[in-house]
Amino acid sequence: MEPKHFIDTQDFTKQELLDLIELIRLIKSADKQGATPRLLPDASLAMLFEEPSTRTRISFEVGIVELGGHALYLKPGEIHLGVRESLADTAKVISRYVDVIMARTLKHETMLGLAEHATVPVINGLTDYNHPTQVVCDVFTMMEHMQPGKKLEDLKVTFVGDATNVLSSLMLICTKLGMHFTHAAPVKYQAPRQWLDWAEENCRESGGTVRVTDDPIDAVKDADFIYTDLWWWVGQEAEIPERRAAFMPKYQVNRDLLSRAPAHCKFMHCLPASRGVEATDEVMDSAQSVIYDQAENRLHTEKGLLVWLVYPRLQRPGDAFKKEQEETVLKFLAGMK
């Protein structure tokens, strides 16, 4: 079976994404009742990290174990990832050992190379371009917290902040699903034209909308969800003073900005956060904040993704056949004495 990778939500239809989210809901429901189905017995997950992460590592490692499998944490320096061995060779070799690969890479090109050469599913745990596992979790969280009577296609989501890898992914999945998405940022830090072109194409198919503005107050006035993220990423440390000056205080999600949104509006952040920078403690710890529900849902999302990608590929021999194989090996071992 050719592997199905999870690299970009753009690779999937609206219905496929909704099916995945429903699978996540079912697995979370089972988990909350202490009955997580062990659908991936003895499955192995290789976790490749070029950058550390709290939520990504823990959610995938706990997730595969609770589904009946096990994980290998492979941090920088422990394996050849395009260093002293080609990326293609690394991908092909790891594929012979495990059932699925999750990678968190600094460059999107590395992720694409892994997926091109791996013979097992590859899951994108984050690159410099996108973070698809996070935004599937985000939409699932929105569905849990949206007002009664509203449909997914009714939701208005406003992202306040830099054009990060989370922004690209959130803009694309929301527009793919027919939601209404706004990005508020200084002109210099707004979503690039290519991302908007993709989002607008999604909207033509889904009925959603996308817009970009430099006015955060106007951006949040009808928002069901306000989302923010860090204002700088790996490699942008030298730009911190300039970026802070560009965003602060106009684009900080504080009590004043949140008060400009409807009373039912919820606050979201993928974490980690620079508290007191892109968002204040007062907002992050408020009753309108769902950041910890969002963080928890990474676990349920990873479980859903692992089942979605790996379960159809697993061999499931019957007990009689397994017993036959065991007896064959035991008979050989007995003859060696």
Handedness of CA 243, 129, 221, 272 (dihedral sign): negative
Q: Is 104 a catalytic residue?
A: yes
Catalytic residue among 128, 229, 243, 269: 229
CB 251 within 8 A of CB 160: yes
Q: Is 270 a catalytic residue?
A: yes
Tell me the C-alpha distance between 213 and 196, whole Å.
12
Q: Is 145 a catalytic residue?
A: no
Catalytic residue among 5, 134, 180, 300: 134
Sequence-separated (6 or more) residues with CB below 8 Å from residue 332: none
Nearest to 235 by CA among 48, 33, 98, 51: 51
Tell me the C-alpha distance between 287 and 189, whole Å.
30
Catalytic residue among 55, 131, 180, 183: 131
Q: Is 131 a catalytic residue?
A: yes
Order of all β-strands in the sheet with 209-213: 209-213, 180-184, 156-160, 225-228, 266-269
CB 104 within 8 A of CB 49: yes
Q: Is 222 a catalytic residue?
A: no
Nearest to 124 by CA among 305, 268, 272: 305
Catalytic residue among 137, 174, 203, 270: 270
Is residue 71 packed enough to be buried (19+ CB in 10 Å), middle (13-18) or exposed (0-12)? buried
Tell me the C-alpha distance between 311 and 203, whole Å.
32
CB 77 within 8 A of CB 84: no
Q: Is 134 a catalytic residue?
A: yes
CA 236 to chain centre: 22
Helix, strand, coil in percent for the chain, rounding step 5:
50, 15, 35
Catalytic residue among 5, 104, 183, 300: 104
Catalytic residue among 117, 183, 298, 300: 298
Order of all β-strands in the sheet with 100-104: 70-74, 44-49, 100-104, 122-124
Residues annotated as catalytic (active site), given as ranges: 104, 131, 134, 229, 270, 298
